[in-house]
Structure 1
Amino acid sequence: MTAGPPPQAPYTAPTTHPPAPAPTSPPRKTVEDNPLYAAPRTKGSCRLPGVGSGGWKSYKKYMDGVSTCLDRIWLREFAKADMSFWPSRRVFPRHRVRDRRCGLMPSKEADGTYCQRTFTYYVILKYTTGYPQATAYAAELVAHEYAHHVQAQSGISDYEYQATEQARTRKAKDLISRRLELQAECLAGVALHAIRNDLPPWQAFRDQYIGTIPRQWALDHGKLATQLRWLEKGYHSGKPGACDTWSPPPRDVT
């Protein structure tokens, strides 16, 4: 595959859709000492379909392949942590579609959104060239949205929802959101570690974090440099335990 320039379009950060309110607030240890953090380094043996010269159909097949691989990877990780798990549903539409519980998906101005109320993530892929950067973007986006499902299955999302509801300032809410989103970046890296031999060169992933994003995206998702740092932390470790974004001080989740 011939290398080329990164996809030329405004960066749109993935988002998650809040879960239904939990009857009681999960304890802080749900996010700081989650059993999933004890799971071993991820392993995977997945032969992903090629994308050739690109095109929506080939990328849809590729994203389905990545998702199926993530099903196996995370099922194993949860089993090793003695936790129950069931795979996420996924939809790869060409245009926004309506989820029966979360409304139009992905959320407005987002390429990907996870709806915890139906355990489904939605991804609209804008880049369908044959360049490695486009393939890397597709793989990372799917892995990020799947990571929100991992957070939901482990109870982390329930804690985040309750903490956000109790936060009194916009600044406090943004900090909580960054912890969730940066953890999803890290968990995406953990999953990508398992299938690294079937992925584009890592530089193609790094290229996604060059440039600027809207101020509010940075406030509630983290700066691009911070997103990349947590993605690489998960990727190089390969272990969910590297992804505790809830214990570090705010300066580490900017």
Structure 2
Amino acid sequence: MRRYPPLLLVCLLATACIADPTARATPVPAAPSTGALASPAPASPSPPAPSGPRLVSVPTGESAALESPLYAAPRTSARCEMPAIKPDHWGSMKRYLGSASACLDRVWTREFAAVRVFYSPPRRRYVRHHTRDPQCGTMPAKGASGTYCPLTSTYYILVPRDVIGPWGAAWAAQLTAHEYGHHVQYMTNILDYADFRSESASKRAIDLDSRRLELQAECLSGVALKAARGGLPPLTRFQDLYTGRLPAQWVRDHGRPSTQRRWFERGWRSGRPGSCDTWSGPEREVS
């Protein structure tokens, strides 16, 4: 789904923050009239015939969320040197985002390989203005800084001018890792499960599943950023992103800032995808 603008920059981006709760990205349809965004995500691509160890089948339905083989993946690491972001220099920000994405490719390719699950990295686009995806339409979604489209396996990062500088490094890395986390959910059929449940659920149930989905992506971002060795900001810089207030609807479908921070820290401190099972616990853990 979409990702909120940086809470660290609430004062600078207040209008964007207010607009965020209206956006929906990875299909969690309320009605079929929403077009491409309401289309169910296709099944994960069939793996080619393996030349090495036999690949493990990825479960579907509830088992995809509760018994994912990815939960058994070990802690991993990848050496990722990050370029500097120069103030008001779009090219340097694009290079930083590209380096972050390439680093995440290495992290998640290793995690999936460790549990013998087929994996293909997502596409990515970094933009200064909204653009169009051939399947999901306007991207990122209106009011959003980041959106993942499972129909084209592409995430989009919209970069405001205010964050183009060294101070925007944590925001850029975490936003990228969060949207990448939705691709991980897609590759493990968790995204399909959430979409299926939303088709006949109440608004309250849809919001609950949305929180489980978003908080899991938040936790997975912590796992991946912990694994990325090199020039990434320290934990304290990422923790600063979870200050400020969110509109009520944003809390209902994404969780409180304190809850988001707790799941991010859980992933960071454990370094293991298995710590990110938001689907098994009680509702109070994803409030």
TM over 0.5: yes
- The corresponding residue for 1:3 is none
- 1:1-254 to 2 correspondence within 5 Å? 6-7=8-9, 8-10=12-14, 11=17, 12=20, 16-18=25-27, 20=40, 26-126=60-160, 127-132=162-167, 134-167=168-201, 169-254=202-287
1:130 is displaced (CA, Å) by 2.8
Q: Unaligned stretches of 5+ in structure 1?
A: 1-5
Residue 76 of structure 2: SS of its match in structure 1?
A: coil
Q: Unaligned stretches of 5+ in structure 2?
A: 1-7, 28-38, 44-58
Residue 122 of structure 1: SS of its match in structure 2?
A: strand
Do the aligned partners of 1:16 and 1:148 also contact (CA within 8 Å) in 2? Answer: no
Can you list the C-alpha shifts for 1:82-128, whole angstroms capped at 9, x where unaligned? 10000100000110000000000000111000000000000101243
- The corresponding residue for 2:34 is none
Do the aligned partners of 2:85 and 2:166 also contact (CA within 8 Å) in 1? Answer: no
Do the aligned partners of 1:190 and 1:237 also contact (CA within 8 Å) in 2? Answer: yes
Q: Distance in 1 between matches of 2:236 and 2:24?
A: 24
Residue 45 of structure 1: SS of its match in structure 2?
A: strand
1:193 is displaced (CA, Å) by 0.4
Can you list the C-alpha shifts for 1:50-85, whole angstroms capped at 9, x where unaligned? 113352221111000000111111011001111000
Runs of 4+ in 1 over 4 A off after TM superposition: 12-15
Q: Distance in 2 between matches of 1:72 and 1:234?
A: 17
The 1:136/1:54 distance shift into structure 2, 3 A limit, reads farther
TM-score normalised by the chain length of structure 1: 0.91
Do the aligned partners of 1:73 and 1:191 also contact (CA within 8 Å) in 2? Answer: yes
Residue 17 of structure 1: SS of its match in structure 2?
A: coil
Q: Considering only aligned residues, what root-mean-square deviation do their CA atoms show, in Å?
A: 1.9
TM-score normalised by the chain length of structure 2: 0.81
1:198 is displaced (CA, Å) by 2.0
Do the aligned partners of 2:86 and 2:166 also contact (CA within 8 Å) in 1? Answer: no
Do the aligned partners of 2:26 and 2:147 also contact (CA within 8 Å) in 1? Answer: yes
Residue 49 of structure 1: SS of its match in structure 2?
A: coil
1:214 is displaced (CA, Å) by 1.4
The 1:52/1:115 distance shift into structure 2, 3 A limit, reads same
1:9 is displaced (CA, Å) by 2.0
Residue 80 of structure 2: SS of its match in structure 1?
A: coil
Do the aligned partners of 2:82 and 2:230 also contact (CA within 8 Å) in 1? Answer: no
